[in-house]
Amino acid sequence: MKNKQFAALPFRIKAAELSILLITTRRKQRWSVPKGSPMLRKRAHRVAAIEAYEEAGLRGKISRQALGRFKHRKRKGKRKIPCEVKLYPLEVTKQHGRFPERGQRKLVWVSASEAARRVHHPELRRLIRGFSRQQRKRS
C-alpha cells in the first residue's frame, strides 16, 4: 500500500496574471510545493493548508476539492518510500515573514508556465498546466 501525502498548490492572481509559489525541498533543493503526511483528526485539505504555512508562511483559502494526484518518493533513512500526493489549490491571501521552516527552504513566485518547467515531478507539472488552463477559462 502506498503512503499518502497532501500538498498545496499556492497561487495568486494579480492584474489577471496567475502566479504559483514554489519551495525547495530540504535535501536536494529541487523546486516543489508544500506537502506533508496525514495528521490525526485533520482532513486532507486542512493538512495541505497547515503544511503551506509551516513550509512557506502562507495563509489563504484552500479548496476542499483536489486537483489530482502525483507520485513522489519520500526518503526515510536510506529507504525510499513511494507516496501518492493529493494536490489542493490554495489561494494565498497572506504571506508571513516568520514561519516554522523559515531559512530551510527557498521560496519563489513564478508564472504557471515557469512553475511547470521548474518542478521535478512530471505529474505535478501536468497538474500545474491543467490548473493554469482552468484559471484562464474562468477569466
Number of structural domains the chain divides into: 1
**What percent of the chain stands above pLDDT 90?**
84
Q: For the whole model, what pTM was predicted?
A: 0.94
CATH number at residue 61: 3.90.79.10
Q: State pLDDT tens for residues 23-73.
A: 999 888 999 999 999 999 999 999 999 999 999 999 999 999 999 999 988
User: Does the pLDDT of residue 2 top 80, yes or no?
Assistant: no
| 136 band by pLDDT with thresholds 50, 70 and 90 | confident
Of 12, 32, 36, nearest to 24 (Cα)? 32
Residue 50's DSSP bridge partners are: none
| Mean pLDDT of the chain, nearest integer | 94
Query: Quick one: 54 exposed, middle or buried, by C-beta within 10 A (0-12, 13-18, 19+)?
Result: middle
The domain containing residue 83 runs over which residues? 3-138
**Looking at residues 75-98, what average pLDDT do you find?**
93
3-class state of residue 53 by DSSP: helix
| 16 band by pLDDT with thresholds 50, 70 and 90 | confident
| 107 band by pLDDT with thresholds 50, 70 and 90 | very high
- Strand-pair category, 31-32 with 3-14: unpaired
In angstroms, the Cα distances linking 86 to 41, 73, 83, 116, 123 are 17, 14, 10, 17, 11
Torsion sign, CA atoms 134, 59, 69, 107: positive
Taking residue 32's Cβ as centre, other Cβ atoms within 10 Å add up to 21
